């Protein structure tokens, strides 16, 4: 919405993936297996039962989540599988249940006894570090508009968010937005001349499949071409397909009556575009953005503003 309102958007290419979401095809949002399980001794294994993290980082299963997510992604691509495994069978049962009761119960409901079976896991998109560019008080480039939380790029998360930093984001910037806006609120005139929405010339959507299928295509494009590891070719291919989806969605927007589904489709296509465009501009690998065509970190620290 802010981008369409000509506001500044920053660093959208930095999308954090949680490395160990419970693998449940067709289920969204994913159930997250906390990284504390690996901290307590859980071991990642591939389909052959091999503990593979030692090939990617000397810290093995305790490596930072971006490194773990890329390692899992590579193992899945090498073997052609949709997930790897988290092995907790060697861990103390009472301690596991005490520390991770929700995980234990969820797995048991799926028929997975974590003391006897390995847990199928795969990376899942988790957090957007970029977003609406703000200053240190949550002010955006649009007058009187504030932003904080995951929609915002306050600079707090940098290129690679640390666990629980979202709490700091909400506490500090939520409070700062409040303090600053209270001082500004009495200076803002109330606009009473906003016209009603004009739906003249539009019709009821004849086929909801036009919206639902476009959303499925968008999700597939972003997963396949703009995931954990990127290339220039995949990003270019994603942009071409996003351009087509955008044209189709805008044609629907002009010709049919509004629905929550159509508004959501328009929004997620815009977000997808901003992620891809930011990734195309960044000719380096930094933080959560890893491009095999530009594996080095640039000496120039650059914010991508769209």
Report d(CA 250, CA 263) in Å as an integer.
10
Q: What is the DSSP letter of 208?
A: T
Give the pLDDT band of residue 162 (cuts 50, 70, 90).
Answer: confident
Q: One fold for both 15-127 and 199-306? A: no
Site of tokens 């954990």 = 228
Domain ranges of the chain: 15-127, 129-186, 199-306
Q: What is the pLDDT of residues 271-301, one digit of tens each?
A: 999 999 999 999 999 999 999 999 999 999 9
Q: Is the pLDDT of residue 200 over 90?
A: no
Per-residue model confidence (pLDDT) at position 10? 97
226: how many CB neighbours lie within 10 A of its CB?
21
Per-residue model confidence (pLDDT) at position 294? 96
Average pLDDT, stretch 15-41?
92
Report d(CA 261, CA 211) in Å as an integer.
7
Report d(CA 116, CA 121) in Å as an integer.
16
Per-residue model confidence (pLDDT) at position 199? 86
Among residues of the chain, what percentage have pLDDT more than 90?
Answer: 79
Higher pLDDT, 53 or 185: 53
Query: Beta 152-153 vs 131-133: how paired, if at all?
Result: parallel
- 142 exposure class (CB count in 10 Å sphere: 0-12, 13-18, 19+): middle
Q: Cα-flanking dihedrals φ and ψ of residue 219, to 5°?
A: -60, -40
What would the two tokens of residue 192 be?
A: 């009473």
**Is the bond preceding residue 29 a cis peptide, omega within 30 degrees?**
yes
- Is it true that domain 199-306 has CATH number 3.30.70.20? no
Q: What is the pLDDT of residues 234-271, one digit of tens each?
A: 999 999 999 999 999 999 999 998 899 999 999 999 99
Report d(CA 134, CA 200) in Å as an integer.
37
What's domain 15-127's architecture?
Alpha-Beta Complex (3.90)
Residues 284/8, Cβ–Cβ less than 8 Å:
no
Give the pLDDT band of residue 161 (cuts 50, 70, 90).
Answer: confident
Q: What is the pLDDT of residues 125-160, one digit of tens each?
A: 989 999 999 999 999 999 999 999 999 999 988 899
Residue positions annotated with a catalytic role:
65
Per-residue model confidence (pLDDT) at position 27? 84
Across the chain, mean pLDDT equals 93
Q: Provide CB contacts within 8 A for 235, sequence distance 6+.
A: 225, 226, 276, 279, 280, 291
Per-residue model confidence (pLDDT) at position 26? 81
Report d(CA 205, CA 224) in Å as an integer.
29
What would the two tokens of residue 204 be?
A: 């009821």
Q: Is the pLDDT of residue 219 over 90?
A: yes
Residues 82/122, Cβ–Cβ less than 8 Å:
yes
């Amino acid at each position: 919405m802010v981008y369409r309102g000509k506001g500044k958007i920053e660093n959208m290419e930095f999308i954090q993936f949680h490395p160990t979401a419970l693998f449940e095809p067709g289920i969204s949002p994913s159930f997250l297996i906390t990284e504390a399980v690996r901290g307590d001794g859980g071991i990642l294994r591939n389909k052959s039962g091999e503990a593979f993290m030692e090939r990617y980082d000397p810290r093995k299963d305790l490596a930072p989540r971006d490194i773990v997510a890329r390692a899992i992604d590579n193992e899945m691509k090498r073997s052609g599988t949709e997930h790897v495994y988290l092995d907790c069978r060697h861990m103390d049962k009472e301690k596991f249940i005490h520390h991770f009761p929700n995980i234990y119960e969820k797995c048991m409901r799926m028929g997975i006894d974590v003391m006897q079976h390995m847990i199928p896991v795969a990376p899942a998109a988790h957090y957007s570090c970029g977003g609406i560019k703000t200053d240190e008080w949550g002010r955006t480039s649009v007058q009187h508009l504030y932003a904080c939380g995951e929609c915002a790029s306050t600079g707090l998360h940098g290129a690679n968010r640390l666990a629980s930093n979202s709490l700091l984001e909400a506490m500090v910037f939520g409070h700062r937005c409040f303090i600053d806006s209270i001082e500004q609120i009495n200076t803002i005139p109330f606009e009473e001349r906003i016209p009603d929405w004009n739906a003249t010339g539009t019709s009821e959507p004849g086929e909801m499949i036009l919206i639902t299928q476009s959303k499925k295509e968008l999700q597939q494009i972003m997963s396949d071409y703009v995931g954990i590891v990127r290339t220039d070719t995949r990003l270019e291919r994603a942009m071409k397909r996003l351009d087509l989806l955008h044209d189709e969605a805008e044609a629907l927007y002009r010709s049919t009556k509004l629905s929550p589904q159509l508004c959501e489709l328009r929004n997620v296509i815009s977000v997808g575009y901003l992620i891809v465009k930011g990734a195309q501009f960044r000719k380096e690998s930094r933080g959560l953005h890893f491009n095999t065509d530009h594996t080095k970190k640039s000496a120039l620290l650059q914010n991508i503003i769209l």
